[in-house]
Amino acid sequence: MDSTNLKTFITVAELGSFSLAGERLYLTQPAVSKRIKALEQELDTHLFDRIGRRVSLTEAGRTLLPRAQAILQAMEDSRRELGNLSSEVGGRLSIGTSHHIGLHRLPPVLRRFSRDYPAVELDLQFMDSEAACRAVQTGQLELGIVTLPSQPLADLDSTQIWSDPLSVVVGHEHPLASETELTPRALADHPAILPAHGTYTREILEQAIVPELGSLRVGMNTNYLETIKMLVSVGLGWSVLPDSMLGEELLALEIPGLTLSRQLGYVHHQQRTLSNAARAMLDQLHATTRP
């Protein structure tokens, strides 16, 4: 079986969409369909049921999925171990990272890495930190440079690189901007603009505030912090953003007793050999914290 067809199959199964799989793999939707059709013809069975825009695995597809993941992981592990027999740093390095980290933390790291290791083919995929962690767990990515989960995830080692302080923020015209004595309970009276449930940043806020308030009024959800910043700046609600994103258009609220921070760093699979390229990237990441 062609490994590229297997990878396409796994991606469609994970995302439940041919078009989204194409975006992830930088392919057109017809190219994705062609790969899946080739795999189905080779196996002489249908792998997906297609009803309208919905795509779901058939029984054969559900049977193949864990085996396909194991095949690709075995191939990838073999490639890494053989590549590590030499001291050369090259080959393909697949990394998942969030848009925020990609914009605000990684540029100097990537600049140095590409200069020092031009033989490495970087496959940098932007996604939510939670999705990147899952992709590292399943072997689709070698590294995740992410917001670290508050609780350890199965099979993953995580290492902090940056501390990322967070502030509760509003626009200058928001009613909370004129309050002089704020408490966490005051936030419950106003709608919030927050990342979706299940995201690590949302969990940090809820662990700090919800036990006291019971619930939050959430007006909108979006996982793009730049979008949240814009919506807050025009007065549509309050939110929590990294201090590195604060600017003149936002007001950081001082709330006694409320200190928020998240940890940014990398995750990799505990039982999988890191390539020389991955080890070099980790060295570059750690170098950012050295004096």
Q: In this predicted model, what pLDDT tens digit does every residue of 166-184 receive, in sequence order? A: 999 999 999 999 887 888 8
DSSP-assigned beta bridge partners for residue 170: 251
State the pTM of this model.
Answer: 0.72
Statement: residue 228 has pLDDT above 90: yes
- Only one residue has tokens 């699979």, namely 269
Point out the least confidently predicted range of 27-41, 112-126, 179-193, 220-234: 179-193
For the record, the structure tokens of 244 come out as: 């590195």
Q: At what angle do helices 18-25 and 3-15 cross, to 10 degrees?
A: 120
**Torsion over CA: 192, 194, 196, 198 (sign):** negative
Structure tokens at 159: 């290492």
Domain extents for the chain? 1-64, 163-261
Q: Which tokens in the block code for residue 266?
A: 């990398």
Beta bridge partners of 224: none
Q: Is-contact 260 133, C-beta < 8 A?
A: no
Reported as type and span, the H/E element at residue 239 is strand 239-242
Mean pLDDT of 247-257: 90
The domain made up of 163-261 is a member of CATH 3.40.50.300: no
Assign 240 to helix, strand or coil: strand
The domain 1-64 is classified under which CATH number: 1.10.3720.10, 1.10.10.10, 1.10.443.10, 3.10.310.70? 1.10.10.10
pLDDT tens digits, 126-170: 999 999 999 999 888 999 999 999 888 989 999 999 999 999 999
pLDDT digits (tens, 9 = 90+) for 74-110: 887 777 777 666 667 888 899 999 999 999 999 999 9
